[in-house]
Amino acid sequence: MKKKIRVLVCKPGLDGHDRGAKVIAAALRDAGMEVVYTGLRQTPEMIARAAVQEDVDVIGLSIHSGAHMTLFPRVLDLLKQAGATQILLTGGGIIPEDDMAALRKIGVGELFGPGTPMDKIVEYIRAEVPKRRTVGA
């Protein structure tokens, strides 16, 4: 039997607006994934460490503060350093299209803005994880 998809949902930075993070955590759980929610105010170091320790397939960062251009690259770097590049780094929040494109270019996955249906995120993760599992294994 296939292993369940494991997702780490995180709120990095100083922002406490966790509505999106909690809704997506609940939606992924209801879609049959195993979800770990970090809670508020996680540093990139804490996130990368938790991702490796929890052996997750996916990290989802929820950022509404404008700090996405600092936080996504930092987490990505730390994952590389830990040799955990098979982990899909995705997320969402208040992120302008240009920035989404720039982040995709450096290896961040799809990013989702306000109004995204939960199904779309679930489908994306389901499609993406198997590719990465084969690469990682």
List interacting residues with another protein (CB under 8 A).
9, 13-19, 21-23, 25-27, 29, 35, 37-40, 43, 65-67, 69-71, 94, 96-97, 113-115, 117-119
Q: Amino acid identity of 85?
A: T
Measured from the CB atom, is 23 or 82 closer to another protein?
23
C-alpha 120/C-alpha 80 separation (Å) is 27
Instruction: Please list the alpha-helical segments (H only) found in 10-117.
Output: 19-30, 44-53, 68-81, 97-105
* Closest CB 85 distance from another protein, rounded Å: 23
* Closest CB 15 distance from another protein, rounded Å: 6
Measured from the CB atom, is 67 or 84 closer to another protein?
67
C-alpha 116/C-alpha 11 separation (Å) is 18
* Closest CB 95 distance from another protein, rounded Å: 8
* Closest CB 23 distance from another protein, rounded Å: 5
Q: Which residues pair with 62 in a beta bridge?
A: 92
* Cα end-to-end span (Å), the chain: 16
